Amino acid sequence: MKKVGAIYSGDGGCDFIVWAPLKERMQLHVVHPVDAVYNMQKDKEGYFHYNVESLYPGAQYFFRPEGEHDYPDPVSNFQPEGVHGPSEVIDHSTFQWNDADWQLPSFKDLILYELHVGTFTEGGIFESIISRLDDLKTFGVNAIELMPVAQFPGNRNWGYDGVFPYAIQNSYGGPEGLKRLVNACHRKGIAVFLDVVYNHMGPEGNYLLQYGPYFNKKYCTPWGDAINFDDEWCDGVRDYFAGNALYLFEHYHIDGLRCDAIHTVFDNSAVHFWEYLHHKVKELEQKMGRSFYVVAESDLNSPKVIWQPESGGYGFTAQWLDDFHHALYTLLDEKGRERYEDFGELTQLAKGYTDGFVHSGEWVKFRNRKFGRSSAGVPGDQFVVFNQNHDQVGNRVRGERLCMLVDFDRLKVAAACLLLAPYVPMLFMGEEYGDESPFYYFVSHSNPKLIKAVQKGRQEEFAVFGFDVEPPDPQNESTFNDCKLKWRKRKDGKHALLLQWHRVLIGMRQQHLALQNFNKADVQVETKGERLLIMHRQSASSEQHLICVFNFSDEEMAYQLPASDKSWNQLIYSKDDKWVEKPQDKVPNLPKVIKGGECIKFAPISIAVYEQAL
């Protein structure tokens, strides 16, 4: 795999390399600190080269395909003036890393936390996240997942409109800002995941077609022509995106990637792009002597995503499990069935716990076809589950979080369903204390026609669902500002109580062997009626047995604990006095110790965990 971009040698020299196989000429136009134009030399693989002496980091430049117009470098490491401005030479060797002793936790031990840099803090930059790391660590987070930070137009965007995968967003703090954040996270024992987009590019500032055949028309995606992963000249495209992953791992010490919508990467090559990326990452692991995680967002409901290539798979570390969210949400919110018409049965959540994919070959009305394949037997630590994420919140017309849709008791049950699951959990920023700020879709484009197209597109998207309100204007800065977290609330009333609830549940995951066992054979689930679910979790040695009782009903429900000569000790109960928000909501506490075979009545909308005494 060839190195591309502006490669500073450290001695005042800089190699410039750009891939443009169908171009006859290419010029390098340095615009700072001097103005100079150089004719580049082309090799047989379509790469243009030029070495400039006495050029130092901070120099800015463009390329001129066919010697005509200036365009930023497709492999730009930094765009200080935005997507239309010059690219800047970066020297990665000067940053002082102090994470040599960093030990990446096992994937199964992660508590992931998705956040958007611009709205996570009032400051909205990498540096301001650092001041909040202790807050995250205190309640149990040991891995943050940043929404995309590749350079996008303007300074407000979810990040999925990025057009320079190698350039770190200038308004967030650029390359130095991201490195300082990763450095700080590692010092505090927190891993850093980065959301990357290899399935499409944003519309504004996308100059890839000025250089080469990065797209093809064989396949259609929601964003237009697909990335060219299997047509003529695709080798350079495959290396462009695979090289980006290696670049982020090597130069930014990123621990893991979350790959957006992998099902929209179309590739009929003998070696699929995702398999190709897997092998390149493994090579880098050997070179650097450390591990990296690569997680997929997939709409395939196929275990192929996490199978190893030798078994015909893509080799991802894990994949998001959307079915878990849908199955749980529709039990918590009555209106959820309107949004997810194929969900709403308690048995589906039970299957989500024991198998993973709820849709594993059944007829699905939403798709008008049979969908999915069984994931029974796939270890739980190869799935990431969540109660909410940027899509689930941001693609609602009012941008409501779960805490704005259901009551406090249901929030406690939701958190327990997530954190007691035999999967790797992920929280969405502010979820831990019930932040009530909306999370809307927002942009800051400069092209008036594009702005109108985005505004119209959002209105039409929500009109399909029959919403009777207008979505907020994504271009309006107030839409973005409304989404910023209200950190002060985490210390008040129900917010503080919910935060402590999450902290205790995460502590249980870390303390109890049964909750650290991801073997599905040791997870059994039974249902009583339509609203009572009982999950059994056992340690690998079978020495510890936990029973998690979830009552989704508005009525009291009874359950008889398994007969045994050993008693059961209560670990947590959501209706215990200390977890009740309002005095009038208090109910009689459950016994702290219960004899085997005894029948217990569980309060409406509650969750209790009992451990069998040894």
Active site members: 260, 297
Q: Which whole-number Å values give the CA distances from 248 to 148, 296, 488, in the listed order?
A: 12, 17, 34
**Ligand-binding site membership of 502 (annotated):** no
Q: Could you tell me how many residues make up the chain?
A: 614
Closest CA to 258 of 124, 494, 57, 424: 424
Q: Which residues contact 245 (CB under 8 A, 6 or more apart)?
A: 196, 257, 277, 280, 281, 294
**Ligand-binding site membership of 391 (annotated):** yes
Calpha distance 120→105 (Å, rounded): 24
Q: Dig out the tokens for 222 from the structure.
A: 């929601």
User: Residue 529, exposed/middle/buried by CB under 10 A (0-12, 13-18, 19+)?
Assistant: exposed
Task: Establish how many alpha carbons lie within 13 A of residue 48's alpha carbon, considering only the half-sphere containing its beta carbon.
Answer: 23
**Ligand-binding site membership of 91 (annotated):** no
Cβ–Cβ < 8 Å for 62, 93 = no
**Ligand-binding site membership of 326 (annotated):** yes
Q: Dig out the tokens for 172 from the structure.
A: 């967030």
**Ligand-binding site membership of 261 (annotated):** yes
Q: Dig out the tokens for 231 from the structure.
A: 């047509």
**Ligand-binding site membership of 392 (annotated):** yes
Calpha distance 226→333 (Å, rounded): 37
In 106-208, beta strands by DSSP E: 112-115, 143-146, 150-151, 164-168, 191-196
**Ligand-binding site membership of 259 (annotated):** yes
**Ligand-binding site membership of 260 (annotated):** yes
Cβ–Cβ < 8 Å for 393, 428 = yes
**Ligand-binding site membership of 525 (annotated):** no
How many CB atoms are closer than 10 A to CB 614?
8
**Ligand-binding site membership of 262 (annotated):** yes
Closest CA to 322 of 364, 280, 289: 364
Residue 548: strand pairing partners: 535, 609
**If you search the block for the tokens 């693989």, which residue do you land on?**
45
**Ligand-binding site membership of 323 (annotated):** yes
Q: Dig out the tokens for 380 from the structure.
A: 């739980």
How many CB atoms are closer than 10 A to CB 394?
18
User: Residue 141, exposed/middle/buried by CB under 10 A (0-12, 13-18, 19+)?
Assistant: buried
**Ligand-binding site membership of 186 (annotated):** no
Q: Which whole-number Å values give the CA distances from 49 to 4, 44, 53, in the listed order?
A: 9, 12, 13
* β pairing state of 47-53 and 41-42: antiparallel
Helix H or strand E segment including 549: strand 545-551
Q: What is the signed CA dihedral for 204, 208, 209, 214, rounded to 10 degrees? A: -120
**Ligand-binding site membership of 394 (annotated):** yes
Binding positions for substrate are: 258-263, 322-326, 390-395
Binding positions are: 258-263, 322-326, 390-395
